[in-house]
Amino acid sequence: MKIRSVDHFVITTKDLAACLHFYVDILGMEHRMDGAQHVLKFGKQKINLHTTIGEFMPYATNAGYGCQDFCLVASGDIYAIKQELESAGLELIEGVTEQAGASGVMDSIYLYDPDGNLVEIAVYRNEKEQALARLMHELEIGRKSGETEGWLSVDEVEEHFRIRAEEEGLQSVTGK
């Protein structure tokens, strides 16, 4: 036997509306019904939702609320994702950290869903793009803190990154 991938897993939720808001409205998953079963669809995977312990048979021996710990892989800039989650009023447990994923190095952030499940959101690294994104993030932190004395002007730095991105065949991280 050779296991190929994960198809789905189950979350038991105390508050379906809050759960759907988190996973659908904030994380962008699609809510579907499969008979009486609430399903969150994303990519080629899904999360089945149970609204009570033992709602569907068979179920895990120690099923419960808030006992899951899993990683969701996202696309895009991890710093933009972090800002989007914070703008939505979510408290992050841990900021951007380097982790060893199943397919390589990734940058991750951690937060709890409404039931207390630990949700890791990760972006696999394309090292060049992530390095540029980190530098731009540091530049933005410098702008906000006012610690830019002695630095190049923002326009000079952005132009430098734009040229480097073009030379590397990357999309510009400055948006210009």
The residues that are catalytic are 120
Q: 39 pairs with which residues across the strands?
A: 32, 48
The residue among 128, 11, 3 whose CA lies nearest residue 72 is 11
Contact 23, 40 (CB under 8 A): yes
Q: What are phi and psi of 107, to 5 degrees?
A: -105, 130
